[in-house]
Each structure stands twice: as structure tokens, then as C-alpha cells.
Amino acid sequence: MAPVLYIVIPCYNEQEVLPITAPLFLEKLRSLSAAGKISGESRVLFVNDGSRDRTWEIIRDLARQDEHYTGISQSRNRGHQNAVLAGLMEAKDRCDITISIDCDGQDDINAMDAMVDEYLNGCDVVYGVRSDRKTDSFFKRATAQGFYKFLAAMGAEVVYNHADYRLISARVLKELANFKEVNLFLRGLVPLVGFKSTSVSYSRAERLAGESHYPLSKMIALAVDGITSLSVRPLRLIMGFGLLVALVSFIGVIWALVDALLGRTVAGWASMTCIVCFVSGVQLICLGIIGEYIGKIYMETKQRPRYIISARTWEQEGAGESETVNK
């Protein structure tokens, strides 16, 4: 029997682009279904991530127009990763496979055919990998490239040039549900779950409308989250660096003692100041890195829910409606 596919699409303030891309997703669902690769029960699942514009209303309208459109709404904005997770967890009990994709049309929708083919060939996870970044601005390209390199250097294993466009089977999602961490970095988590995986490459287009919600500050935050939630290498680096500084200091101490014994102790104010400044700077950086990990432990111990769904298009309308309308 053909598998049921859910296309999971996070949407945050996307009123400009949603009316353009939603029909494209539906068309893809139809063509896959017509080719007999997926079941007619397949759906497009939008996840409204607490948008402040008309996004949720658009999603509800779409759901009224065609039963293949469905949507859930988060009670507030929680960020891209949590929105994707909410959609995947919602979908996992209703389908055999999910494909998560951004709603702005940047990721080539046609790569889905190859993804489904790979699933039918026995892969449980299929990563969408960008073959080039020609359409990104030079700055975005450079920072994104730096992002992956830095992650790898810090011991966080991620698939190069893969964002969150990927196919995941329901059985992998059921295992993923056991990863309870609040600091979510799906790109790092999915490879940890294991199972047979492969990748499909596509070229990345420009956003069809609207603006990016991933400025440099959010990319840096994502990189820090990714590293500190996947790897303890920075802590080890601190240890190594600490040892190095201690060694240098030890040599310095001997040098100072020898100088003092030889009676050449002309007070070196400059060298003293430099050492004090340097060592205290290093200590503060190290404390900061350790603090980042303690902060993560703190958030994990709270075990707060990672997403809260306030409305679903297939449930009685009302509860979530008033909330978005009132804003």
C-alpha cells in the first residue's frame, strides 16, 4: 500500500508568501499521489508559529477550501525548530512519512519526488542538501558556510549544507520523540537517531515573497545552541587552553624568580598589566562558556513543554481563533 505523506511546513508571519506556495505544495501532493507513490490520505500540515499577521487565518481558509490542507497553531512564537518539531510530532501518528520544508519556496519542492523514491527504496531518513547557494547573497552564503565549518570544528556533527528540508519516516519520529531535550537542534538530533539515511541534492532558489526571519543574530544563536546541545568539545578546549596558560605562567614565574635572585628586579609594570589583563580575559571567556552549559542544564531540568498547540484546523474552531483575532 502506498505510504501516507505529511508535508510539515513551519510558518511565521508568512502572509505574503503562503498564498503563493500553498498551491505548489498541494500540486506536488497530487502529482505524487497520481503517480501512485503516496496515498490519497496524504496531507499538507502547516504549523503556525504564533504569527502576528494573517498567517493563521490564511491557513484556516485553505483548510476549508481543500481537505488536503491542514494546520495547527502554536500558542505563541517559539522559533523555527520547535515549530518543525510540533508539526512532526503531530504528524507521526497519522502518517508513514513526513517531509519538513520551509514555506517560502526557497527549497526546491520537486526534490520531494526523489526523497519519496529513496524512502520506497528503503531509506528512513532523506536529507535535502543544497548543491549551490548561487541565489543567496554573498553575506548569507559566507555566514552560512562559516556556520557549518564552525559547528564541525566544535564537534557538532551535522550534514553539510542541509537545513531542515528532509524526509523522516514515522518509525524514526517515534524514536525521535524519546529525545526529550528542550534545547532543540533537529539537524544534529536526527543523525543521532540513526537508521538508514541518504541525501538528495537540490539548488536553492530565492524567497518567493516576504523577508527572511534568520538574520545573523539568530544564526549565531542557532550555532551556539547547536554546539552546546550536541558537543562538550568547547569545555575540553577550555581545559587544554587552561593547561597551556598554566604552563606559560609557570615559565613566567621561574623567569621572575631567577631575575629576582640575580638582583635584576626592575619593576615591569607593562608586562604585569598585560599578564593580569590576559589571564582575567581568558578566565571570563571560560566562565562564559561554562555558564552557557549550566544555563542549558538549568533549562533541561525544568522539563517545560517544547511546544503548545492551541488550535487545529480539523477541530472545532473557536479556541485558537479568538486568540489570534484579538492580537
Give 37 or 187: the residue with its C-beta nearer to ligand UDP.
187
Q: Is beta strand 162-169 parallel, antiparallel or unpaired with respect to 97-100? A: antiparallel
Q: Which residues, numbered 86-125, are part of the site for ligand UDP (CB under 6 A)?
A: 102-104, 106
> How many residues make contact with ligand UDP (CB under 6 A)?
16
Helix axes 269-302, 216-230, angle to 10 degrees: 80
* Residue among 17, 41, 11, 12 nearest 29 (CA): 41
Q: How far is the CB of 325 from ligand UDP (least distance, A)?
A: 20
Cβ atoms 91, 8 nearer than 8 A: yes
How far apart CA 280 and CA 287 sit, in angstroms, is 10
Q: Which three cell numbers stand for residue 111?
A: 526534490
How far apart CA 214 and CA 220 sit, in angstroms, is 10
Amino acid at 85: L
Q: Is 80 in the site for ligand UDP (CB under 6 A)?
A: yes
Q: Which residues, numbered 81-120, are part of the site for Mg ion (CB under 5 A)?
A: 102, 104, 106
How far apart CA 319 and CA 312 sit, in angstroms, is 9
Strand stretches in 96-191, DSSP E: 97-100, 125-130, 162-169
Tell which one of 4, 7, 8, 12 touches ligand UDP (CB under 6 A). Answer: 12
Give 8 or 97: the residue with its C-beta nearer to ligand UDP.
8
Q: Is 10 in the site for ligand UDP (CB under 6 A)?
A: yes
> Which stretch in 11-19, 30-38, 264-272, 289-297 sits in contact with ligand UDP by CB under 6 A?
11-19
Give 212 or 303: the residue with its C-beta nearer to ligand UDP.
212
Binding mask 197-236 for ligand UDP (x = CB under 6 A): ---------------xxx----------------------
Q: How far is the CB of 90 from ligand UDP (least distance, A)?
A: 14
Q: How far is the CB of 101 from ligand UDP (least distance, A)?
A: 8
12 binds, among Mg ion, ligand UDP, none (CB under 5 to 8 A by kind): ligand UDP
Give 16 or 41: the residue with its C-beta nearer to ligand UDP.
16
Q: Which three cell numbers stand for residue 123?
A: 531509506
25 binds, among Mg ion, ligand UDP, none (CB under 5 to 8 A by kind): none
Q: In sequence order, what are the beta bridge partners of 129?
A: 162, 201
> Which stretch in 78-86, 111-119, 175-183, 268-276 sits in contact with ligand UDP by CB under 6 A?
78-86
Q: Tally Cβ neighbours within 10 Å of residue 225.
A: 19
Q: Is 15 in the site for ligand UDP (CB under 6 A)?
A: no
What's the CA dihedral at 49, 50, 54, 58 to 10 degrees? Answer: 40
Q: Locate cell 500500500: which residue?
A: 1
Q: How far is the CB of 212 from Mg ion (least distance, A)?
A: 6
Amino acid at 249: S
How far apart CA 272 and CA 166 sit, in angstroms, is 55
Give the binding site for Mg ion (CB under 5 A): 102, 104, 106
Give the binding site for ligand UDP (CB under 6 A): 10-12, 14, 49, 77, 79-80, 83, 102-104, 106, 212-214
